[in-house]
Amino acid sequence: MTAINSDTATVVYTVSGMSCGHCEKAISGELSALPGVTAVEADAKTGQVSVTATAPLDDEAVRGAVDEAGYELTGRA
């Protein structure tokens, strides 16, 4: 799912391995460091991560950040 307004775009990704708030914070921290990212919302219960950015997101950069946090990006929701 991608939501777009005039300034930002939000993409929802599916991530496997999240089970708690610590997981959510680890993923959010890595994704927040990507250029243009303005907001990240990770939900361990659903396995979904919403990333809002001021420019189009590079899926491979997102995958790398999720991997760095110790989890697996399984696709877009």
pLDDT single digits (tens) 40-62: 999 999 999 999 999 889 999 99
| CA–centroid distance for 7 within its chain | 18
For the whole prediction, is pTM greater than 0.85? yes
Q: What is the CATH number of the domain that holds 27?
A: 3.30.70.100
Length of the chain: 77
pLDDT of res. 8: 82
CB 75 within 8 A of CB 63: no
CB 14 within 8 A of CB 76: yes
pLDDT single digits (tens) 2-26: 554 557 899 999 999 999 999 999 9
pLDDT of res. 19: 96
Domain count, the chain: 1
Domain hosting 42: range is: 2-76
